Amino acid sequence: MVTTEVPARFTHRYLDPGERLGEILFGLIMVLTFTATARAALGDNPDSGRQLLIAAAGCNIAWGIIDGGMYIMAAMLGRAREAQAEALARGGTPIHTRVTAEDIKGAIACFWLVVACTIPASLPFMLVDDAYFALRLSNGLLLVMLFLVGYSWGRFANTSRWIAGLVFLVIASS
């Protein structure tokens, strides 16, 4: 028998839909914060697009590291709670909680999703010579992606996808 099942993507194996969408949402908001304020902060400097990308990538790398660490901490706390409850039920002492390979893989998935959000924002700066137009195009792509994250969230939350997409777009871009 031939199986046609596609193996789950790395991020799908370690993060549930809410975690994945949250990581993407936070990454997009951070990049949008940089691109939306870039003109005021960097002026008309022709190198401003490159500086912007370095700053946005640095921010998202830092956040990805922090979020990956928080993922590991939350996973360990969850296992510690389960061990505590099990130990109380049987009258023993809970086992020590350690970092697992699964924890590290989940942290890497968190890191990847946050950092990957800088890629679509950077494409206009690589393809368009006019820095101002590239910046506006980048902002437009980020806004479309915010809508799509909300739309996807609406599917998982069993609510109106269009309204969820619009709410994510409006709130995240405010």
Segment 69-116, tens digit of pLDDT:
999 999 999 999 998 888 888 888 878 889 999 999 999 999 999 999
**pTM higher than the cut 0.85:** no
Q: Which of 33, 81, 36, 83 is nearest to 58 (CA)?
A: 33
pLDDT for 151 equals 94
pLDDT for 7 equals 44
C-alpha 33 chain-centroid distance: 14
Evaluate if residue 163 carries a pLDDT over 70. yes
Tokens of 166: 């619009």
Q: How far apart are CA 95 and CA 92, in angstroms?
A: 9
Tokens of 83: 């061990």
How many helices and strands (H and E) does the chain possess?
A: 7, 0
Count of positions (residues) in the chain = 174
159 φ/ψ sector (left φ>0, alpha ψ -120 to 50, else beta): beta
pLDDT for 16 equals 86
- The dihedral built from the CA positions of residue 114, 67, 63 and 101, taken in this order, carries a sign that is negative
